[in-house]
Amino acid sequence: MMGRTISMNSSSPSSDILVPGIACQYFTEPRLLFAGGKLHVDPKIGLTCFGPLSLDPSKRHPKRVRIGFVGSSETVEKAQQWITINARGVPGDEKHPDFPGCAEDRGFQTALEFNKDWTETLTQTDLADILNIRSRPDRFEKALGIVDSKFQLLDRKDLKPDYVILTMPEGLSSKVFSVDYPVKGLGMVHRDFRRAIKARIMKYKIPTQLMDQKTIEFRDPDHPAKIAWNFFTGLYFKAGGTPWGPTGLVPGTCYMGIRFYRGLGSANPKMFTSLVQAFDEHGEGLVFRGPDFEWDPQAHESKVPRLKLEDAYNLVQFALEKYSLEMKQLPSRVVIHKSSRWTQDERTGINEGLRNKVGRYDLVAMHRQDSVKLLTASKYPPLRGTRFTVGELDFLYTTGFVAELGQFHGMHVPSPLLIADHIGSDTPRETIIREILTLTKMNWNTARLGGSLPITLEFARRVSDIMKEIPPNEDPQPQAKFYS
């Protein structure tokens, strides 16, 4: 966008200052697709009125979900009671829509089945064996090993559960919640039990949900309807269902998010691992651990890692190979999201990696920021979906007041995303912005209207923290449901 030059009059010699052009645009709230081809902007309203997308046609609809448990006899009993009570439906209030339930005749229209054969108990002996260990690292590893053994038993069942709740008593979870300790060759290591157990039991291919004792005892401070919405939406997704689908995404497109992270330990700050999250135009997601690469913050005078040309080429080749293996075809278009600006080496490497494989591509860089905002003349915050452009920089409000619902969605004063790069001329900038807004609504692990980031980047940190716990010689599961 062209700027305009204005002349400044002062007692000093006149000077010309280039003022960037400023423009503003509003995008209506993207609609989502539900059962029977019905549309609505709000996941909760759409699910309540029409049912989940995979219900009609019912090819992927889970009519029944076998729910298993790992926990103490007390927490298992309370967790089952909590699920049973909430599955009948939960009344809301002015800020929280009613949760319609999860049963054969209501809500997600999925029956929930329980059987003692799908329960593995953390016995008093198990708990004592863990809690009697004084060393925090050893106690952490012992807890991981015992919980892993319970999942191994469930995996050996002739009829395995479809989904497992891990609900540990507070007295145990508080003792193994996290741990920091030095390891020779790795430096100081920080570990989180939730991340570690997700990585540990992924090999059994049983989707899992961790539940706190305060939740199953109805002590969670959040509204009960909100908790139920998020829990059962995640359950339906992990059991194989599709809660809703996007509209307006370009057919044949693979939307990728790239993130870089260091493994466990602080001893080698120069070695990073690449992570790719890929989604098709239907919202189906995959997760791939890419190649390792070196980045020296001191030599490059930047803490933000960048890919060399060869590394960028290898990463996109790797991602396309994995994507085509899982999806049985190559995409006709690729859009890659990243939180840092694209370097020339990265652009060139990705261009070469896509050549003769994918005809169209766009590289986009975006991140959260709070230094630039719009000031409204009314008492209402800016509208979600508002885009304003300053020179070559785009800002997009992905939180804010939702005009279609007459509601404010967000916990804090909204700040727009900064969209600093759009490399490629295959797609109009307006289409890129619309896609980002739509992709903020594609987190199937919660029923909220939208996140601040597109799903390509939304749970990147969570995924990378779990990836750190998976040994290099083990292939991580590609399905996104195992990381939620």
pLDDT digits (tens, 9 = 90+) for 406-426: 988 876 789 999 999 999 889
What is the per-residue pLDDT across 28-67, written as a single tens digit (0 to 9) for each? 999 999 999 999 999 999 999 999 999 987 779 999 999 9
Distance CA 292, CA 282 (A): 30
Residue 395 and residue 370 share a domain = yes
Return the SS3 of 90.
strand
Higher pLDDT among residues 472 and 444, named by residue: 444
Q: What end-to-end distance do the CA atoms of the chain give, in Å?
A: 40
Residue 228 and residue 252 share a domain = no
pLDDT confidence tier of residue 296, bands split at 50, 70 and 90: confident
**Could you give the angle at the alpha carbon of 269 between the alpha carbons of 263 and 274, nearest 5°?**
45
**Could you give the angle at the alpha carbon of 118 between the alpha carbons of 113 and 120, nearest 5°?**
140
Residue 201 and residue 300 share a domain = no
Instruction: Give the rounded distance of the alpha carbon of 367 from its chain centre.
Output: 15
pLDDT confidence tier of residue 269, bands split at 50, 70 and 90: confident
Instruction: Count the domains in the chain.
Output: 2
The set of residues, in sequence order, having a beta carbon less than 8 Å from that of 185 and lying 6+ positions away, is 265, 267
| Farthest-apart Cα atoms in the chain, separation | 88
Give residue 423's region: left, alpha or beta (phi > 0; psi -120 to 50).
beta
DSSP 268: -
DSSP 158: S
* 347 within some domain: yes
Distance CA 256, CA 60 (A): 24
pLDDT confidence tier of residue 122, bands split at 50, 70 and 90: very high
DSSP result, 403-422:
TTTTEEE-SSS--PEEEEEE
Other Cβ atoms closer than 10 A to 214 = 11
| H or E element that contains 275 | strand 271-279
Task: Let me know: does 393 contact 417? Beta carbons within 8 Å.
Answer: no
pLDDT confidence tier of residue 4, bands split at 50, 70 and 90: very low
Pairing of strands 22-26, 386-390: antiparallel
The pLDDT assigned to 16 comes to 67
* 209 within some domain: yes
Q: What are residue 314's phi and psi, to 5 degrees?
A: -65, -40
* 301 within some domain: yes
Residue 339 and residue 198 share a domain = no
Tokens 């651990």 identify what position? 289
* 194 within some domain: yes
The pLDDT assigned to 2 comes to 35
The pLDDT assigned to 15 comes to 55
Residue 295 and residue 272 share a domain = yes
Residue 263 has pLDDT above 60, yes or no: yes
Q: Which of 435, 445, 351, 453 shows the shortest CA–CA distance to 398?
A: 453
Residue 205 and residue 293 share a domain = no
Residue 343 and residue 385 share a domain = yes
What is the per-residue pLDDT across 386-410, written as a single tens digit (0 to 9) for each? 999 998 899 999 999 999 999 888 7
The pLDDT assigned to 350 comes to 97
Angle between helices 43-50 and 224-238 (to 10 degrees): 70
The pLDDT assigned to 141 comes to 97
pLDDT confidence tier of residue 307, bands split at 50, 70 and 90: very high
User: What's the average model confidence in pLDDT over 281-304?
Assistant: 90
User: What's the average model confidence in pLDDT over 293-303?
Assistant: 85
Residue 284: which domain range? 247-483
The set of residues, in sequence order, having a beta carbon less than 8 Å from that of 119 and lying 6+ positions away, is 68, 69, 70, 76
Q: Which of 296, 246, 250, 242 shows the shortest CA–CA distance to 271?
A: 296
Residue 258 and residue 215 share a domain = no
Residue 197 has pLDDT above 70, yes or no: yes
Residue 227 and residue 360 share a domain = no
Long-range contacts of the stretch 298-305 (C-beta < 8 A, 24+):
304/340, 305/260, 305/272
pTM score of the predicted model: 0.93
The residue from 209, 238, 267 where one domain ends is: 238
Tokens 């064996």 identify what position? 129
The set of residues, in sequence order, having a beta carbon less than 8 Å from that of 303 and lying 6+ positions away, is 297
User: What's the average model confidence in pLDDT over 212-217?
Assistant: 97
* 313 within some domain: yes
Joined together, the tokens standing for residue 121 give 């108990």
Distance CA 484, CA 446 (A): 10
Q: How many angstroms separate the Cα of 52 from the Cα of each of 43, 100, 243, 251, 472?
A: 9, 12, 5, 21, 37
- pLDDT mean across residues, the chain: 93
Tokens 């594609």 identify what position? 442
The pLDDT assigned to 196 comes to 98
Q: Report which listed range, 82-91, 183-192, 271-280, 401-410, is most confident.
A: 82-91
Residue 253 and residue 233 share a domain = no
DSSP 479: B
Residue 6 has pLDDT above 80, yes or no: no
Residue 462 and residue 349 share a domain = yes
Q: How many angstroms separate the Cα of 118 from the Cα of each of 61, 67, 158?
A: 22, 7, 11
The residue from 214, 238, 262 where one domain ends is: 238
pLDDT confidence tier of residue 261, bands split at 50, 70 and 90: very high
Distance CA 295, CA 308 (A): 9
Residue 262 and residue 208 share a domain = no
Q: What residue type is 391 in one-letter code?
A: G
Residue 379 has pLDDT above 90, yes or no: no
Distance CA 200, CA 476 (A): 10
Joined together, the tokens standing for residue 64 give 């029944």
* 411 within some domain: yes
Distance CA 403, CA 449 (A): 13
Instruction: Give the rounded distance of the alpha carbon of 343 from its chain centre.
Output: 25
The pLDDT assigned to 459 comes to 87
Task: Let me know: does 280 contact 253? Beta carbons within 8 Å.
Answer: yes
The residue from 218, 238, 258 where one domain ends is: 238
Specify the range with the lowest mean pLDDT, choosing from 47-51, 286-290, 321-325, 390-394: 390-394
Residues pairing with 400 in the sheet = 409
The pLDDT assigned to 5 comes to 33
Q: What is the CATH number of the domain that holds 347?
A: 3.30.420.10
**Could you give the angle at the alpha carbon of 402 between the alpha carbons of 396 and 404, nearest 5°?**
125
The pLDDT assigned to 11 comes to 45
